[in-house]
Amino acid sequence: MYEKNGEKYFVVDGHVHFWDGSPQNYNKYGKMFIDCFYGYHSALSPEEYLWPEDKFQKYSEEDIMHDLFEIGYVDKAIFQPTYLLDFFPGGFNTTAQDAVIAEKYPDKFILNSSFEPRLGEAGLAEFERKHERYGFKGVKLYTAEWHEDSKGWKLNDYWSKRYLEKCQELGVKNIHVHKGPTIRPLNRDAFDVADVDHVATEFTDLNFIVEHVGLPRLEDFCWIAVQEPNVYGGLAVAMPFIYSRPRYFAQIIGELLYWLDEDRILFASDYAIWQPKWLVEMFVDFQIPEDMQGEYGTLTPDIKRKILGLNAARLYDIEVPSEIPQPAPVMAGTEPEYPETPV
């Protein structure tokens, strides 16, 4: 929990990893991938939070527990697996790898899983076995992931929809989808947000959390999310711009608040690319610049509380301490209000 100026904030970090990107586990494509990750880390982190590359490639259990919970103010963290078996033969950040820590600290972590629709019926059976083993409430999907001769898939593909139907059957309600900046050697077009529109309309009882809010396709994402009330924005990758480009961050958060509303935006550090400590501190201190407030408004403590933890707590049925103010959702029981458009 974080407290500043008499305000308390319950923090749910909605996007963390425990990866193995070490040379012993990568091929030439895996090296491209982890080097690209490290480039984002180096370019967008304050100097005092920079890691040497060997630590970044494979960090320890002690590192993640210290950075998230001892100094990072995080109350709950959600593991979002990323398999990348074509790049990291031992798995980059699989459900089983994350489970080693999540099961050791069940009061700290929520474990999500993933599915691979290109595995067809066999993959469906394996997905059901994983759910029986781990009982997860969410999945993380990487539509640009390579598999054999395929370099991507879409959420509205036939087999993807079969897996989403299985999610409905199993009660896996939260569908996190990477729709953000490309990562070498993955293909940029495979992260396009258009397929979110199809499945959000078809699967209205599932929540689609678009990780990285579609960047650099923020406008496309917002136009989809405004008409699909089950679409949410995850702030991983957007958050560190609060340090390096604060006016750009103000534009991002301002657009999200205008189109989505304050109940559908989720904080995430994308650990270990960035650390939650400085992101939480800067976000609580952050205000939309005065010359932009006429268009975007201001960030109140209640809005910050929702984004930092209350919205994710609602999606994952996380108990929030009684001392945390819990403002009512602005969208509760309502249909979205569309901006006026010319007829």
Tens digits of per-residue pLDDT, 14-31? 999 999 999 999 999 999
Instruction: At 273, list the tokens.
Output: 């690319």
Determine the Cα–Cα distance for residues 265 and 16; give it in Å rounded to an integer.
Answer: 16
Is 152 contained in some domain? yes
Tell the residue number behind the tokens 């394996």, with chain if given: 126
Residue 44 inside a domain? The answer is: yes
Q: What is the CATH number of the domain that holds 26?
A: 3.20.20.140
CA distance 242 to 45: 10
Residue 324 within any structural domain of the chain:
no
Q: What is the pLDDT of residue 331?
A: 64
* Number of domains the chain contains: 1
- Domain, as residue range, for 57: 9-316
Per-residue pLDDT at 149: 92
Mean pLDDT for the chain? Answer: 94
Backbone angles phi, psi at 139, to 5 degrees: -130, 155
Residue 266 pairs with which residues in a beta bridge? 234
- Assess if residue 338 is contained within a domain: no
Distance CA 111, CA 133 (A): 11
For residue 241, tell me if it sits in a domain: yes
Domain for residue 333, yes or no?
no
Per-residue model confidence (pLDDT) at position 243: 97
Separation between Cα atoms, residue 98 and residue 112, nearest integer Å: 9
Query: pLDDT at residue 336 above 80?
Result: no
Q: How confident is the model at residue 329 (pLDDT cuts 50, 70, 90)?
A: confident
90 inside domain: yes
pLDDT in tens, 26-73: 999 999 999 999 999 999 999 999 999 999 999 999 999 999 999 999
| Tokens of residue 121, six digits | 């019926």
Those residues with Cβ within 8 angstroms of residue 229's Cβ, 6 or more apart along the chain or in another chain: 264, 331, 335, 336
**266 is a domain residue:** yes
